[in-house]
Amino acid sequence: MIDKTVATAADAVAQIYDGATVMIGGFGSAGQPAELIDALIAQGARELTIVNNNAGNGDTGLAALLKARRVKKIICSFPRQSDSYEFDALYRAGEIELELVPQGNLACRIQAAGSGLGAVFTPTGYGTLLAQGKETREINGKHYVLEYPISADFALIKAQQGDRWGNLVYRKTARNFGPIMAAAAKVTIAQVSEIVALGALDPEQVVTPGIFVQQLVAV
Amino acid sequence: MIDKTVATAADAVAQIYDGATVMIGGFGSAGQPAELIDALIAQGARELTIVNNNAGNGDTGLAALLKARRVKKIICSFPRQSDSYEFDALYRAGEIELELVPQGNLACRIQAAGSGLGAVFTPTGYGTLLAQGKETREINGKHYVLEYPISADFALIKAQQGDRWGNLVYRKTARNFGPIMAAAAKVTIAQVSEIVALGALDPEQVVTPGIFVQQLVAV
Amino acid sequence: MTYQPLSRDQLAARVARDIPEGSYVNLGIGLPTRIANFLDPEKEIFLHSENGLLGMGPAPAPGEEDPELINAGKEFVTLLTGGCYFHHGDSFTMMRGGHIDICVLGAFQIAANGDLANWHTGAADAIPAVGGAMDLAVGARKVFVTTDHVTKKGEPKIVERCSYPLTGVGCVDRIYTDLAVIDVTPQGLLVQEMVPGITREQLQAMTGAALQFSANCQ
Amino acid sequence: MTYQPLSRDQLAARVARDIPEGSYVNLGIGLPTRIANFLDPEKEIFLHSENGLLGMGPAPAPGEEDPELINAGKEFVTLLTGGCYFHHGDSFTMMRGGHIDICVLGAFQIAANGDLANWHTGAADAIPAVGGAMDLAVGARKVFVTTDHVTKKGEPKIVERCSYPLTGVGCVDRIYTDLAVIDVTPQGLLVQEMVPGITREQLQAMTGAALQFSANCQ
């Protein structure tokens, strides 16, 4: 019998190693896997590269991970916010590396990794600072920038319900990056509000099929 | 009030013009929009380029469209089947053009069109006849072929339920190409088994959001 | 002559008038978000938010906020009957694949050729953040920009060439300022409307690029 | 010496033994499909079908066929409890993104370097059809091939170099024939098992590329 559930968030993140690339779901705090992040802080892995839309809000979740100085580099689209003071301080002190990626390129590059593409010509960013030094090409009269996949060793995501095969459904706009990050990481760990019996999720309504999920934990 | 429903399949396909590129959903007969195809045959548009996984089965649906000699070219992954005799005869007589595309490249190129990419480096087909003459590139030690988007003037798809805003849900493996074709065509026409009231579809469970659908008809 | 610039609400209301029923629309963070308040409630217009919803409704009643139902500005919102949720990949397929009819963005600068700068001042100590602005700039069928006509210091925001880092190249279709409505055309900037009382010369003096005027602008 | 080639069912059963519990597996059209019949029912193994389902179950009882529940071979199937449906884009993400642990494909020819030919005879009047074979060949973590060791005319199907058009380059990991199990290794073809009674010399004589033999093959 295959059962991908683990007992605690600590168990789920135990395997994350120093220097790993970790995708973290969420758009602001919606969909942020707060309990998994807390467990990762307690676990102690360092020198992480984090992929997230933002760079933390307030002093919890991803911001707390930054504050604990576990993050070497962050790949995101929107670091600076009214409450991104933890990131701001590290960045101004030169203590964190930032790769700024337009949000659509971020999504697209994560999807490219999940789906096995080698690179994609995307329309976004052409002629801007964020395409500097990148290969460009005109195709049918439009300009494109060549962008490479972003893959990860681990993805930490939040879903609403999951079953022991790892099938997931989400809630409202907390869905955001969860499904595409799940496909782009070697090991995807989902925290869910509820683990349900196999068969409780309608097969027409599963958003993330279990093939993309290696572990899940109810929090 | 926005109401994308039309009364009959004939109304839905009335706008399809000679020489149009038309995506047709379905994998074999599962998900094939049979009533829309019949209406298209009756409507009379000619010199069509058809995008479908197959090249028709038996003598109904897409096969009947071929038999009526409305198709100039077909882009598909698996034309030859035990019951693809209509296509086989036209092909051997040199009366239809075939662009054979590996199924994953077909899906990926349709998705590239829907999502605005200029081109993608895909792993499939490298070193084979189907990549002959195409640009290739080695990226991180793997070989890729550059493939371009496949877009369409129209997509004809089949869904299970739809509402007046064009939101769709599908049934079992009839889903197949429907959602990705809907995004890749200028005008997507869906036949549905049932039109339901706005709000009857759970917002978590809509598979094709109405933004990708221009018309729908109950058959 | 004397004239009164549009208030922020008047500017939002002016843009709202140009959004036809049935449009799929993304309203950027800031003033563009305010446009939603002025859409004709009799018209069905589909608001898209890049964090994964279509059919966005107004702010919830106090006490009914849901932290998992927010917009791209991370404000609490609601979902209309008939709306739906989707993931970021699908959301940006909508934005980049030409499925959004209109997006409305703010601006630091707009150039005469339609270049837009709205994400980064270029200052050495600035922390840049881009979000979905570059995607909307290249992906929406029509790009509207709302802006004050001049900066707080009185400098033109409509310029011959942007000095700030670009968001998109030649992407702007129409500019709505507190003084005028200006189309970006292949022949240059064409003023379609001006606030009452302003002269062509006054408007040109506050604009860093040459203006042309349609017949209905006295 | 005399020996008995494996029957098709024996070959299917032999492959089934090598599929661990928890694997995500795509079984190609033809003999590979038959492997499903021999998977240990005590093991949970996830069968994927490229037309959009995961957790594929056996054929339905007569009278319970659903034309909208089919596999890639367009045969009626069922869905296991815990299975799910998805669209072609997501299905090929699974296949091309390295998420399928094992695929099993048929073959016209396999070369010593792992090249596979299984979609097209190259004959001038043939109508080619490729389906998802090329995607599986490059995308699955392990590519198993099942085949008769020789053609009906007695010609080797394992060759130095494929004469038929390729499906994938260097993609095959393991070959299961009715006579032997052979790994494709960087050092060449390594026979792991042979049917009882066959000699190394007999097997080599029916193979168009040099074989090496692991110690347990007498």
A165 touches D at CB < 8 Å: yes
**Across D44-66, average pLDDT:** 97
Q: What one-character DSSP code corresponds to residue C16? A: H
Q: Do B201 and C84 touch (CB under 8 A)?
A: yes
Task: Give dist(CA D47, CA D56) in Å, integer.
Answer: 5
Q: Within 13 A of B188's CA, how many CA atoms are on the CB side?
A: 29
Catalytic residue among D50, D68, D155, D193, which?
A: D50
Is residue A31, in this structure, part of any structural domain at all? Answer: yes
Give the one of D70, D86, D130 whose C-beta lies nearest to B30's C-beta. Answer: D70
Residue D164 CA to chain centroid, in angstroms? 18
Predicted local distance difference test score (pLDDT) of residue D125: 81
Is residue A145, in this structure, part of any structural domain at all? Answer: no
Q: pLDDT per residue over A40-61, tens digit each?
A: 999 999 999 999 999 999 999 9
pLDDT band at D1 (very low <50, low <70, confident <90, very high): low
| Contact call for residues B174 and B30 (beta carbons, < 8 A) | yes
pLDDT band at A96 (very low <50, low <70, confident <90, very high): very high
The position carrying tokens 């010509």 is A121
Q: Do A173 and C70 touch (CB under 8 A)?
A: yes
Residues in CB range of D62: below 8 A, 6 or more apart: none
Is residue A120, in this structure, part of any structural domain at all? Answer: no
Domain count, chain B: 1
Predicted local distance difference test score (pLDDT) of residue D126: 86
Short-list B149, B110, B126, CA closest to D134: B126
Q: Which residue of A has its CA nearest to B170?
A: A204
Q: pLDDT per residue over C20-74, tens digit each?
A: 999 999 999 889 999 999 999 999 999 999 999 999 999 999 999 999 999 999 9
> What tokens does C101 get?
């009819």
D44 touches B at CB < 8 Å: no
Calculate how close chain C gets to B135, using CA atoms only, in Å. Answer: 24
**Across A89-117, average pLDDT:** 97
Q: Evaluate if residue C1 carries a pLDDT over 70.
A: no
C213 touches A at CB < 8 Å: no
ipTM of the complex: 0.97
C26 touches A at CB < 8 Å: no
Give pTM, 2 decimals: 0.98
Backbone angles phi, psi at D134, to 5 degrees: -65, -30
Give the one of B120, B171, B205 whose C-beta lies nearest to A205's C-beta. Answer: B205
Q: Do A28 and C70 touch (CB under 8 A)?
A: yes
Go through the domains of chain C in sequence order and give each one's CATH number: 8-213 (3.40.1080.10)
Query: Which residues of chain C does B120 touch, with a Cβ-Cβ cutoff of 8 Å?
Result: none
D81 touches A at CB < 8 Å: yes
Q: Which residue has the higher pLDDT, C82 or C215?
A: C82
Q: Do B111 and D85 touch (CB under 8 A)?
A: no
Is residue B129, in this structure, part of any structural domain at all? Answer: no
pLDDT band at A146 (very low <50, low <70, confident <90, very high): very high
Q: What is the rounded average pLDDT for all residues in chain A?
A: 97
Q: Within 13 A of B146's CA, how many CA atoms are on the CB side?
A: 14
For residue C61, the cross-strand partners are none
Please work out, in degrees rounded to the nearest 5, the angle formed at the alpha carbon of residue C176 by the alpha carbons of C188 and C126. 95
C79 touches B at CB < 8 Å: yes
A193 touches B at CB < 8 Å: no
Is residue A83, in this structure, part of any structural domain at all? Answer: yes
D79 touches A at CB < 8 Å: yes
Is residue A2, in this structure, part of any structural domain at all? Answer: no
A163 touches D at CB < 8 Å: yes
Q: What is the rounded average pLDDT for all residues in chain B?
A: 97
Q: Which residue of A has its CA nearest to D93?
A: A115
Please state, for a pLDDT cut of 70, what percent of chain D lies above it: 99
Is residue B28, in this structure, part of any structural domain at all? Answer: yes
Burial class (CB in 10 A: 0-12, 13-18, 19+), D187: exposed
Task: Give dist(CA D211, CA D201) in Å, integer.
Answer: 10
Q: pLDDT per residue over D125-163, tens digit each?
A: 889 899 999 999 999 999 999 999 999 999 999 999 999
Task: Give dist(CA B73, CA B53) in Å, integer.
Answer: 13
Q: Do A91 and C127 touch (CB under 8 A)?
A: yes
Range of the domain at A69: 9-101+150-218
Task: Give dist(CA A6, CA B7) in Å, integer.
Answer: 53
Is residue B59, in this structure, part of any structural domain at all? Answer: yes
Give the one of D81, D86, D138 whose C-beta lies nearest to A209's C-beta. Answer: D86
> In D77-154, which ranges are continuous DSSP H helix?
88-96, 133-139
CATH number at residue A206: 3.40.1080.10
| Contact call for residues B214 and B185 (beta carbons, < 8 A) | no
Task: Give dist(CA C167, CA C130) in Å, integer.
Answer: 8
| Contact call for residues D132 and B77 (beta carbons, < 8 A) | yes
Q: Do A172 and B148 touch (CB under 8 A)?
A: no
- Mutate: best of D53, D54, D71, D130, partner B, most B CBs <10 A: D130
Size of chain C in residues: 218
> What tokens does A153 get?
């060793």
Q: Which residue of D has its CA nearest to B122?
A: D96
**Across C75-80, average pLDDT:** 96
Q: Which residue of D has its CA nearest to A198?
A: D82
| Contact call for residues A101 and A110 (beta carbons, < 8 A) | no
Q: Do B30 and D79 touch (CB under 8 A)?
A: no
Q: Do A79 and C49 touch (CB under 8 A)?
A: no
Short-list C179, C184, C176, C177, CA closest to C115: C184
For the question of residue D42 being annotated catalytic, the response is no
Q: pLDDT per residue over D153-200, tens digit each?
A: 999 999 999 999 999 999 999 999 999 999 999 999 999 999 999 999
DSSP notation for B82-119: TT-HHHHHHHHTT-SEEEE--HHHHHHHHHHHHTT-SE
Within A140-219, strands assigned E span 142-147, 152-162, 168-169, 185-195, 215-218
